Structure 1
Amino acid sequence: MNRPQIFVLVFICLTGYLTKSVAQIRKEQTELIDRYLSVQQQSIGFNGTVMIAGNDSIVYRRSIGKASLELDVRFSPDPVFRIASITKQFTAMLVVLAAEEGKLALGDQLRKYYPQLGQSDWGNITVRQLLIHTSGLPHNEGIADYWQKISFLPLSDQQATDEVFKLKLLSVPGAKTQYSSPGYFILASILEKIYHQSYGDILREKITAPLRMDHTGVCTATAIINGMVSPYHQLADRLITAPHRDYALMKGSGNLYSTASDLLKWNMALNGSGHFNKTVTDQIFAIQNAQQVNGRNESYGYGWFLRRSSSRERDFNFTGGGTYGCSAISGYYPNANISVVILSNVSTLPVGEMQSGIESIVFGDRFDIPVVRNAVKLEPLQLYKLQGTYTADNGHQLAIFLRGDQLYAKMGQNPFFELYASDSTVFFGKKVPVQVEFEKDSNDTIKGLTASFKGQLVHFVKNK
């Protein structure tokens, strides 16, 4: 055997060992994940299920917290959760399958299915643009009075469609990227037109029944779903019953429920099991949009975010979801054959940060368990003085503001988050792993702050 052959053999053996060791998860890693989840329950109020599979078998599963706080009921072995935007994975697959069957083409324009759109920009929107969020359609907030009124209403399908078609395009179709759930509502409606079936029936026939995903389906406002957990919403530092949101306008974009084990079946079916034609899965996981989608740095396929890493083992295909009573993320490491699902019945939890922490543990990185920090109560006047806009050297701006007696921070277009005091000038985030230390001058006036985030320090000066 010559030297190059020996090198190849050693590489193959080493790669196989690494994949096996990661996929199996050692006892000390399991214990570290247990500790991490316990800390996350204390610090951010995590309440839900984590499941990890390696080499197509479950290597870790744990539920922590309660399925019903009112009834003091713990989670069942495989609880049912709302999965919000993870729904988009399924809609995208159904669309690509329909294209494979010749039922539609990804280049079809909307006027083919909605002749009333005529020659308008709306009519020029293609199926593919809807899939990758370049249609020009806004997100839900583009619907007038969406959060104040429309999101509560049990609209008929025609009424929901009319609301979507009232939207004003933010750009010419194909010109810019704008994350849009209404775009996936239209995709689901097109599927119903071409198959002459409901979205739920199409999903069952094409995906959930063949894969025996027996606990995955369509949510409605009135259906009683066996095993479904009660929904909660985290408001500042307390839990409340999740506000109502009707599913009428969430068809195809956020109206599904599932379990962690069903989502593992789904991940496995998409990644090498052979259930779906390779030409289909290759399209799903090819980079279709390299621009930022929904503010994320990862590229976008069809319904999936695609993180491509310098270490191929860390390539990660995933989708996150969030709505009232739901924080979720489901993803797959195709080159390590590892699947991770995190589902919670509490909204606004940073499950993406949790996935990142679990990834570090699973892949054997150095990982320090977060410290549970207790907040102290400050006088309203102390908090009032901290308010303002702060600017960093790179031009980024951080807004600090009060709502009631709770201090919040907001960076650019990112969602705002709560800040809690550990003393009079040092604050920390629970949902966002940040520490903020305010600076005073000799007159006790706030002049700036230093923010620490993931090991990076950024100094901000308070605007006058």
Structure 2
Amino acid sequence: MRLTRRSVLAGAAASAVAGCSEPGGTAPAAPGTPVAASSAPPSVNAVNPDATSPDELIFTPGRTVRPAAAPASYGEQLLAVARRYQSPTPDNRAHGTHPGAVVLVAVDGEITVHGATGDAVRYGHGPVELPVARRVPMRPDSVFDLASITKVFTALLVLRQVDAGAVAVDAPVARYLPQFTGGRKGEVTVSMLLAHTSGLPVGLELAKARDRAAVLGTPLLPGAVPGGIMRYSSLGLMVLGQLVEKVAGRPLASLVADELTGPLGLRETGFKPLEWLSAADRETRLVATDARSNRGLLRGVVHDQVADAMGGVAPHAGLFGTAADLAVLGQMLINGGEYNGVRILKEDTVRSMLTNVNAGKQAIDADRPGRTATHGLGVELDQTWFMGKLARPLTFGHTGFTGTSLLVDPARRVTLVLLTNRAHPNWTWGNPDKPRAAVADALAPAL
């Protein structure tokens, strides 16, 4: 029998989903705004595992991310899958897909798996493979270039303005940014940018990265119909970055810190990590990306060249962070927009965020032939190409070019974070989607 959003199914404690842990509108609610906690104790998993629509999700505010009481039996299996892709196999070419990885699983907030494998730095500029003594081992608290997961943070900022009544998702972008004109761009809505159906090209020319007017002035692709085919577009998020800055009256970095990372307690997520990590942490925790470019070994400097040219702060890429911090982001949405007594989004806004707004549409993505157009407001939905057997109607998340990924099944209250350094030293050496799907496949039977 399918449960409705008003029904409650009391499941077993999260420890029953066994694991291994390693330490490691009205205006939007202001940081610190109290929210009533769930009446259920943290050990009770109130869940509707059969939910297939956002209206059927059961939110229980008050759950926080915390270590599980006992290690999960499947923890080493997940790490073994990630470890397999460190070595050459027929699937990942001669060099392996990534030098190292961090895997984290949280069930109803309880961290049942949090482990690391391989190296955070294995190559020097060239690339030249470093001797073992000079490599930097991966740690559960390693700090990664999150790449396009930054887009989720930008989307959350936009949705906070929706909660404030300052932005309407179905409104034309030109209402807020009059410079966003030309051709059929007047038909492009905020929702289309969040769902990648605007018709904008994938990215911005590097030479124009510092030209804010060029972001807004870029024409739609020839023949593109706003709201038609889904084409993944980083440029669309760049436009949204300018929109939210204008509406909120503050720069992006300040908005991320004041409205998201600060209230959520994400102390190790931010732009420009070389400015906030200690010297010791830079040496032991920063994960490297490219080692072959004319920029030298990239470590603590954003891999995306457009974001780098923008000064390291951009709406589509540039954030650095840890697996534990991303787990908090996932739990906040599982909670229905609340975390640790602070409301980030209204529950109805979270339901809207997790609604497929691209029903009946097609997707074009030469890099990922398995991608479908199924998409929420700022997050991918039900995508087997990186979610594997965890893909379900409400499973959502996002990936990053550097090898990062966040996957959340809100119906079963499960968060899976897989962070790899597949762009180190050369992003062409392997396909990061294969280990993403393989780790998800290994977790699926336990759920």
* Band the TM-score falls in, shorter-chain normalisation: 0.5 to 0.7
Q: Which residue of 2 aligns with 1:232?
A: 289
**C-alpha separation in 1, matches of 2:254 and 2:19:** 37
Could you tell me which residue of structure 1 aligns to residue 322 of structure 2?
259
Matched position secondary structure for 1:303: coil
**Is contact 1:313–1:335 with CA below 8 Å preserved after alignment?**
no
Bigger proportion of residues as strand: 1
Structure 2: gaps of 5 or more residues: 2-7, 21-70, 89-95, 125-133
Q: How do 1:46-445 residues align onto structure 2 when only pairs under 5 Å count? A: 46=98, 47-69=100-122, 70=124, 71-117=134-180, 120-140=183-203, 143=204, 146=205, 150=207, 155-156=209-210, 159-163=211-215, 165-170=217-222, 171-219=224-272, 225-226=277-278, 227=281, 229-233=286-290, 241=297, 245-247=305-307, 248=309, 251-272=314-335, 274=338, 275=343, 276-290=345-359, 291-293=361-363, 294=365, 295=369, 296-297=371-372, 299-307=374-382, 315-322=394-401, 326-347=402-423, 348=427, 349-364=430-445
CA contact (8 A) 1:314 1:336 kept: no
Q: Secondary structure at the match of 1:299?
A: coil
AA partner of residue 21 (structure 1): A
> TM-score, length-normalised on structure 2?
0.66
* Equivalent-residue separation in structure 1 for 2:290 and 2:247 (angstroms): 38
Partners of 2:103 and 2:116 within 8 A in 1: yes
Q: Distance in 2 between matches of 1:320 and 1:61?
A: 19
Match of 2:77 in 1: 32
User: Contact 2:382–2:392 at 8 Å: present in 1 too?
Assistant: no
Structure 2 contact 102–140 (Cα < 8 Å) conserved: no
CA contact (8 A) 2:230 2:373 kept: no
Residue 124 of structure 1, CA deviation: 2.9
Deviations 1:369-413 (A, max 9, x none): xxxxxxxxxxxxxxxxxxxxxxxxxxxxxxxxxxxxxxxxxxxxx
What is the deviation of 1:53? Answer: 1.1
Q: C-alpha offsets along residues 19-70 of structure 1, whole Å, 9 cap, x if unaligned?
A: 7533657754223223323222113243121111112011111222222335
Q: Which runs of 5+ in 1 are unaligned?
A: 5-11, 366-464
Aligned AA (1:278) = E
Q: Secondary structure at the match of 1:41?
A: coil
Specify the structure having the higher radius of gyration (Cα): 1
Q: CA shift at 1:206, angstroms?
A: 1.4
Structure 1 residues 364, 109: CA separation in 2 closer, same or farther (over 3 Å shift)?
A: closer
Aligned-residue offset at 1:111: 2.6
Amino acid at match of 1:305: E
Q: Provide, for residues 271-296 of structure 1, a one-character-per-residue CA deviation record: whole Å limited to 9, x for no partner.
A: 12633320111111111113344451
Supply the distance in 1 between the matched residues of 2:19 and 2:304 (Cα, whole angstroms): 41
Change (3 A) 1:162 1:363: closer
Q: SS at 1:251's partner residue?
A: coil
Q: Would the aligned equivalents of 1:135 and 1:183 in 2 still touch at CA under 8 Å? A: yes
For 1:307, the aligned partner's letter is D
Partner of 1:410: none
**Mapped contact 1:134–1:178 kept (Cα < 8 A):** yes
1:24/1:277 Cα in 2 relative to 1: closer, same or farther (>3 Å)? farther
Task: Tell me how large the CA RMSD over aligned residues is.
Answer: 3.4
What's the offset of the Cα at 1:176? 2.7
SS in structure 2 of the partner of residue 254 of structure 1: coil
Count residues in correspondence.
336
Q: TM (normalized to structure 1)?
A: 0.64
Find runs of 4+ consecutive structure 1 residues off by over 6 angstroms. Answer: 308-314
Aligned partner of residue 120 in structure 2, secondary structure = strand
Q: Structure 1's 112 and 312: CA in aligned 2 closer, same or farther, altered over 3 A? A: closer
Whole-angstrom CA distance in 2 between matches of 1:118 and 1:127: 14
Alpha-carbon separation, structure 2, partners of 1:308 and 1:16: 26
